[in-house]
């Protein structure tokens, strides 16, 4: 499957998976409490692959006819394990991160342009900053960023090894 073409829509059970798909560089959307019919309509309208752990949803006529496409994610997986499952099942790579809260792309911004926003101690020690193209949130490669990268690195290593 061509990774640039895959856009995901996670059902209400998979808010955590949505964030980790974004961290792994994939376009993923989610809305809490969405009705199954609305989920299917949204996926069709935007050409998204539904990710769900809802067995009855997988039995829906539209899903059975792959309109839209859907992938059943086994229940009980932690979000990063679910991420590994999805990436392995669809043969997708870990890419450059997106904004975890909203899914927008991260754009490098000059350090001097964020002097009034970045915490003073961070600004004194960090040179690389990024801004979400969608929500405008500011990011930098601090300890939280490194923790996310470590978890993604672990997922990449598992993907490079033998399957489950």
pLDDT tens figures, 78-95 = 999 999 999 999 999 999
Query: What pLDDT score does 145 carry?
Result: 85
Q: Give CA separation, 53 vs 14, 50, 104, 127, in Å.
A: 8, 10, 25, 41
Query: What pLDDT score does 164 carry?
Result: 59
Query: What pLDDT score does 1 carry?
Result: 43
Give the model confidence (pLDDT) of 21-73 as tens digits.
999 999 999 999 899 999 999 999 999 999 999 999 999 999 999 999 999 99
pTM: 0.89
The angle at the Cα of 103, spanning 164 to 112, to the nearest 5 degrees, equals 120
Query: What pLDDT score does 163 carry?
Result: 61
Cα–Cα distance for residue pair 127/129, rounded to 1 Å = 7
Give residue for tokens 């001097």: 112
Cα–Cα distance for residue pair 126/124, rounded to 1 Å = 6
- Domains defined for the chain, CATH in brackets: 3-90 (3.40.50), 106-160 (no CATH)
Query: What pLDDT score does 7 carry?
Result: 96
Give the model confidence (pLDDT) of 108-160 as tens digits.
999 999 999 999 999 999 999 999 999 999 999 888 888 899 999 999 999 88
Give residue for tokens 């798909």: 21
Cα–Cα distance for residue pair 87/92, rounded to 1 Å = 5
Q: Which uninterrupted H or E stretch holds 109? A: strand 106-109
Strand 7-10 relative to strand 49-52: parallel, antiparallel, unpaired? parallel
């Amino acid at each position: 499957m061509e990774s640039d073409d895959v856009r995901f829509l996670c059902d209400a059970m998979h808010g955590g998976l949505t964030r980790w798909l974004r961290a792994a560089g994939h376009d993923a959307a989610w809305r809490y409490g969405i009705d199954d019919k609305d989920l299917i309509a949204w996926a069709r309208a935007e050409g998204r692959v539904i990710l769900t752990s809802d067995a009855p949803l997988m039995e829906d006529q539209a899903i059975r006819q792959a309109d839209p496409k859907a992938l059943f994610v086994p229940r009980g997986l932690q979000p990063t394990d679910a991420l590994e499952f999805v990436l392995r099942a669809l043969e997708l790579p870990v890419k450059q991160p997106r904004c975890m809260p909203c899914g927008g792309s991260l754009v490098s911004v000059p350090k001097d342009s964020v002097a009034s926003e970045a915490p003073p101690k961070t600004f004194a020690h960090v040179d690389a900053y990024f801004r979400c193209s969608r929500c405008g949130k500011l990011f930098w490669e601090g300890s939280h960023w490194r923790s996310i990268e470590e978890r993604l690195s672990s997922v990449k290593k598992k993907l490079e090894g033998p399957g489950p």
